[in-house]
């Protein structure tokens, strides 16, 4: 059976961050993901000190672009956010940021420095009855310098999400080795793309083949099919049919 991927981490919706900059780019990226096996794709705009604040104006623009992409893409598009730990988040309701149709919130360990605030944010999510999903720990200084941290997070039941781009060697050799260690030792719960743009695309099919060869088809499927979050990618005749008729191009937005 051809695998149907569930990708919980992408920047396919233009939102003012470093992901796609226009709906037309998002359409191209999403269609490419579909052609390479993705059937459920989460758009997860950054909530980060390096992105514009998620005020009502930015949120409206995200929702507008998301609705247009959802109607025109041949896969099922869902919305969530990727959080970078920031103190003000602890005064908010984390349900604002959940991955649609789940009880999970995607949050990254800062690339540099301590994981202390990340742990506070994870507990804030947990205390609201939700579950943090740890985005790309293999790319963070805190895990690379202290591999035991990843084990502690997994022991807490927090799903670890490894980037496909790490597994196929798109980052540093150190990050590639750590990504595979998390897979080999059973610490990773799922693999996602973290796709940003045409030069940083969805690489799930390539990473899946490498993972299947390394750990077997059964384990590989569970890492790529949304099992860890209770998700499943079902075929959708209407979406598949739509994919055969290209939609008119959209002019790039500002």
Please give the chain's pLDDT, 254 residues, in tens. Answer: 577 999 999 999 999 999 999 999 999 999 999 999 999 999 999 999 999 999 999 999 999 999 999 999 999 999 999 999 999 999 999 999 999 999 999 999 999 999 999 999 999 999 999 999 999 999 999 999 999 999 999 999 999 999 999 999 999 999 999 999 999 999 999 999 999 988 888 889 999 999 999 999 999 999 999 999 998 655 544 443 333 333 333 333 32
CATH number of 5-231: 3.20.20.140
The C-alpha atoms of residue 76 and residue 203 are separated, in whole angstroms, by 18
pLDDT of residue 237: 41
What is the token pair recorded at 53? 């604040």
Write down the pTM of the prediction: 0.90
CB-based contact 11:237 (threshold 8 Å): no
pLDDT of residue 3: 76
pLDDT of residue 233: 58
What is the token pair recorded at 119? 């742990």
Q: How far is the CA of 206 from the CAs of 20, 66, 165, 169, in angstroms?
A: 22, 26, 9, 11
The C-alpha atoms of residue 152 and residue 156 are separated, in whole angstroms, by 6
């Amino acid at each position: 059976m051809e695998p149907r991927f569930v990708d919980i981490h992408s920047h396919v919706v233009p939102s003012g961050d470093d992901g796609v900059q226009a709906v037309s780019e998002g359409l191209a990226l999403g269609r490419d993901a579909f052609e390479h096996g993705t059937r459920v794709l989460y758009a997860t705009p950054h909530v980060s000190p390096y992105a514009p604040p998620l005020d009502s104006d930015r949120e409206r623009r995200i929702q507008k672009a998301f609705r247009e992409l959802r109607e025109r893409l041949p896969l099922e598009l869902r919305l969530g956010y990727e959080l970078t730990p920031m103190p003000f988040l602890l005064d908010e309701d984390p349900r604002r940021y959940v991955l649609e149709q789940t009880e999970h919130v995607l949050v990254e360990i800062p690339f540099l420095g301590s994981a202390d605030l990340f742990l506070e944010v994870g507990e804030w999510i947990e205390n609201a009855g939700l579950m943090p999903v740890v985005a790309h720990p293999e790319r963070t200084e805190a895990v690379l310098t202290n591999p035991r941290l990843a084990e502690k997070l997994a022991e807490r039941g927090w799903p670890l999400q490894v980037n496909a781009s790490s597994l196929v060697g798109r980052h540093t050799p150190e990050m590639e080795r750590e990504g595979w260690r998390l897979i080999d030792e059973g610490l990773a719960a799922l693999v996602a793309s973290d796709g940003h743009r045409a030069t940083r695309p969805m690489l799930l099919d390539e990473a899946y083949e490498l993972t299947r060869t390394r750990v077997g088809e059964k384990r590989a499927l569970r890492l790529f099919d949304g099992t860890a979050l209770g998700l499943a990618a079902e075929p959708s005749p209407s979406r598949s049919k739509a994919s055969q008729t290209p939609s008119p191009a959209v002019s790039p937005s500002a």
